[in-house]
């Protein structure tokens, strides 16, 4: 393959990454909470019942915000069920995932877990089966200091200080017919606006996320965002986006091209939000919260919602990620970085066991899935100023299959560069990090990078995630089959050259002299 070039310049900037770009998500779904982050009988459990081995991996993964309690779950959730004395908490039929919810973990335990992990909480309210009144009551319970029924109830439960939760989601995927209490855009826009109004009266410091389309392929996409934002524009700071990349078609080149559809989705939502701003004669800019993104297909169709006997924490959606999945996932990280000017929050869905970078055995060990590594790179090294990259790379064309929506869709993806890149300059760390995805399955890539305005660069570290078998996975018995290795082919002088293996995710960290 011919040589590829990347040119970047210190002053040619996309934007600053927000800390919240590197978030994740935990839902009452399968073994994400129970047997995932929370397992009081586990040998590593803390005094609060949190799995210590999972906390250790979470610190290595370094998510910055955590969305909770759903997802589909939140649209049928009574937050009151999950607070107060354990013996009084009800067991409920949970209709999103057809399980029994024991409610031994709830809002206060979530806050304690976030504090233990050093993560900012992001709480979702139920605007499916419930509405503004419950949202206002939850806000009073969580964020009001004392002297009222619900704030004093929290104190009587053992949490003297208010939780001070800043970031809130106004429901989840309300546009989806599968959602409990799904709504039209007008119905949701009105309910979201009223909930936002009441919540902000209690705590004006909160930041709110309005529900956007649950996928770019939804038949209501576009109309939904416009109508919802017309109702909520002055009350919210964010609109949400969700995407799960898939390889149903067993077409690896198309799968690896599919993160570029996230770029298109983001750019379309920005245009719609800014068009509403123009209609309203406002110069306010609504930011984007990409609060569900991941690769998910093996356990998505069929398996997800069929089970008998209403089990507690059944092992569902336990997607085993391969090398190929880590590459598509890395492409999504690059798409998010390259829109750091408007995507100011994002959540990898999810964190443990259910479509997750961390797997556990209940009572047993915890280990890293393949997608763990690109996320850890993205979060630990991706903070700073994202620079524009001018890329010269051969391209390919493909068609991507997307099953959600009224009909199965095929998105043509013309002219995808084999090389997908993001570059982040951290003035604080005195470093530039280059994230490079080589999507060519057969050939390595010789890349030459010119970094204008950075006269004295030196190599700090370079790693590659590559495996000859694109189906290779990490399992309980072979936990490190796929893991990053040093990338030895990098040289740094007045320009940087590197040879990237075929089908690889690469990270080059350069010290700025």
Please, what's the b/e burial string for 478-500 (b: 16 or more CB within 10 A of its CB; e: otherwise)?
A: eeeebebeebebbebeeebebbb
Kindly list the distances between the CA atom of residue 94 and the CA atoms of 104, 212, 217, 304, in Å, as whole numbers in the listed order: 14, 24, 27, 14
Does 63 engage in binding with ligand AHR (CB under 6 A)?
A: no
Q: Which is nearer to ligand AHR, 28 or 467 (CB)?
A: 28
Which residue in 27, 80, 101, 292 is the catalytic one? Answer: 292
Does 72 engage in binding with ligand AHR (CB under 6 A)?
A: yes
Does 76 engage in binding with ligand AHR (CB under 6 A)?
A: no
Kindly list the distances between the CA atom of residue 55 and the CA atoms of 50, 169, 297, 484, in Å, as whole numbers in the listed order: 8, 24, 27, 21
Q: Which of 63, 69, 70, 171 binds ligand AHR (CB under 6 A)?
A: 70
Note the Cα 65 to chain centre separation in Å.
9
Contact range with ligand AHR by CB under 6 A, out of 66-74, 139-147, 378-386, 422-430: 66-74
Q: Which is nearer to ligand AHR, 172 or 232 (CB)?
A: 172
Answer for the pair 241, 433: CB distance below 8 angstroms, yes or no: no
Contact range with ligand AHR by CB under 6 A, out of 67-75, 125-133, 423-431, 497-505: 67-75
Contact range with ligand AHR by CB under 6 A, out of 68-76, 103-111, 225-233, 462-470: 68-76
CB 350 to ligand AHR: min, Å = 6
CB 359 to ligand AHR: min, Å = 16
DSSP state of 122: E
Q: What sign results for the dihedral spanned by CA atoms 151, 156, 161, 162? A: negative
Q: Mapping DSSP to helix (H, G, I), strand (E, B) and coil, where does residue 219 land? A: coil
CB 216 to ligand AHR: min, Å = 14
Beta bridge partners of 487: none
Answer for the pair 64, 119: CB distance below 8 angstroms, yes or no: yes
Q: Which is nearer to ligand AHR, 371 or 423 (CB)?
A: 371
Residues between 276 and 315 that touch ligand AHR (CB under 6 A) = 292
Residues between 2 and 41 that touch ligand AHR (CB under 6 A) = 27
Residue 127: name the closest of 75, 68, 85 by CA: 75
How big is the chain by its Cα radius of gyration, in Å? 22
Q: Which is nearer to ligand AHR, 214 or 338 (CB)?
A: 214
Answer for the pair 424, 385: CB distance below 8 angstroms, yes or no: yes
DSSP state of 102: -
Beta bridge partners of 19: none
Q: Which is nearer to ligand AHR, 234 or 303 (CB)?
A: 303
Tokens for 125, please give them. 């309210």
CB 214 to ligand AHR: min, Å = 6
Contact range with ligand AHR by CB under 6 A, out of 70-78, 194-202, 333-341, 447-455: 70-78
Count, residues near ligand AHR per rule CB under 6 A: 10
Alpha-carbon distance of 293 to 103, in angstroms, equals 26
Kindly list the distances between the CA atom of residue 3 and the CA atoms of 391, 393, 394, in Å, as whole numbers in the listed order: 11, 8, 9
Beta bridge partners of 312: none
Asked if 173 is an active-site residue, the reply is yes
Contact range with ligand AHR by CB under 6 A, out of 64-72, 330-338, 391-399, 456-464: 64-72
CB 349 to ligand AHR: min, Å = 4
Which residue in 134, 173, 227, 319 is the catalytic one? Answer: 173
Q: Which is nearer to ligand AHR, 97 or 378 (CB)?
A: 97
Binding-residue pattern over the window 341 to 380 for ligand AHR, x denoting contact by CB under 6 A: --------xx------------------------------
Asked if 292 is an active-site residue, the reply is yes
Run of H or E including 396 = strand 395-402
Q: Which is nearer to ligand AHR, 353 or 360 (CB)?
A: 353
Q: Which is nearer to ligand AHR, 196 or 349 (CB)?
A: 349
Q: Which of 80, 112, 173, 207 binds ligand AHR (CB under 6 A)?
A: 173
CA atoms within 13 A on the CB side of 83: 22
Residues between 203 and 262 that touch ligand AHR (CB under 6 A) = 214
DSSP state of 272: H
Answer for the pair 208, 199: CB distance below 8 angstroms, yes or no: yes
Tokens for 462, please give them. 């370079």
CB 300 to ligand AHR: min, Å = 9
Q: What are phi and psi of 76, to 5 degrees?
A: -130, 10
Contact range with ligand AHR by CB under 6 A, out of 69-77, 128-136, 466-474, 502-510: 69-77
Q: Which is nearer to ligand AHR, 180 or 416 (CB)?
A: 180
Tokens for 464, please give them. 């590659």
Tokens for 495, please give them. 């320009």
Which are the catalytic amino acids?
Answer: 173, 292
- Binding residues for ligand AHR (CB under 6 A): 27, 70-72, 172-173, 214, 292, 349-350
């Amino acid at each position: 393959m011919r040589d590829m070039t990347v040119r970047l310049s210190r002053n040619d900037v996309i934007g600053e990454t927000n800390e919240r770009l590197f978030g994740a998500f935990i839902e009452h779904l399968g073994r994400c909470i129970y047997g995932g982050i929370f397992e009081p009988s586990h040998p590593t459990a803390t005094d609060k019942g949190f799995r210590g081995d999972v906390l250790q991996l979470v610190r290595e993964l370094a998510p910055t915000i955590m969305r909770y309690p759903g997802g589909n779950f939140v649209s049928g959730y009574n937050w009151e069920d999950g607070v107060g004395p354990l013996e009084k908490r009800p067991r409920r039929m949970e209709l999103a995932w057809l399980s029994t919810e024991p409610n031994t973990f709830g809002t206060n335990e979530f806050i304690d877990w976030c504090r233990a992990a050093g993560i900012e909480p992001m709480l979702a309210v139920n605007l499916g089966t419930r509405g503004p009144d419950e949202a206002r009551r939850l806000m009073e319970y969580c964020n009001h200091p004392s002297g009222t029924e619900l704030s004093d109830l929290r104190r009587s439960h053992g949490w003297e200080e208010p939780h001070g939760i800043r970031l809130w989601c106004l429901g989840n995927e309300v546009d989806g017919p599968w959602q409990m209490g799904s709504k039209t855009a007008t119905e949701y826009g009105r309910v979201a606006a009223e909930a936002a109004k009441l919540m902000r009266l209690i705590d004006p410091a909160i930041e709110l996320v309005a529900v956007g389309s649950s996928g770019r392929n939804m038949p209501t996409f576009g109309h939904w965002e416009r109508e919802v934002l017309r109702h909520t524009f002055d009350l919210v700071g964010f609109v949400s986006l969700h995407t799960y990349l898939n390889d149903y078609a067993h077409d690896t080149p198309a799968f690896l091209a599919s993160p570029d559809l996230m770029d298109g989705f983001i750019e379309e939502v920005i245009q719609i939000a800014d068009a509403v701003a123009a209609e309203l004669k406002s110069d306010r800019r609504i930011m984007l919260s990409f609060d569900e993104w991941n690769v998910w297909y093996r356990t998505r169709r069929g398996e997800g919602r069929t089970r008998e006997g209403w089990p507690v924490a059944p092992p569902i959606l336990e997607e085993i990620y391969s090398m190929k999945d880590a590459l598509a996932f890395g492409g999504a990280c690059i798409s998010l970085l390259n829109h750091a000017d408007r995507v100011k929050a994002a959540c990898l869905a999810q964190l443990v066991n259910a479509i997750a970078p961390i797997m556990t055995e209940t009572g047993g060990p915890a280990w890293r899935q393949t997608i763990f590594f690109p996320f850890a790179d993205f979060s630990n090294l991706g903070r700073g100023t994202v620079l524009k990259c001018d890329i010269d790379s051969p391209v390919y064309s493909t068609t991507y299959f997307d099953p959600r929506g009224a009909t199965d869709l095929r998105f043509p993806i013309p002219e995808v560069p084999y090389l997908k890149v993001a570059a982040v300059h951290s003035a604080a760390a005195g470093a530039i990090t280059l994230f490079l995805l080589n999507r060519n399955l057969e050939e390595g890539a010789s890349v030459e990078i010119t970094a204008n305005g950075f006269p004295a660069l030196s190599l700090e570290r370079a790693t590659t995630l590559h495996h000859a078998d694109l189906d290779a996975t990490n399992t309980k018995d072979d936990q490190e089959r796929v893991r990053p290795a040093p990338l030895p082919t990098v040289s740094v002088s007045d320009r940087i050259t590197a040879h990237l293996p075929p089908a690889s995710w690469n990270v080059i960290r350069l010290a700025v002299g």
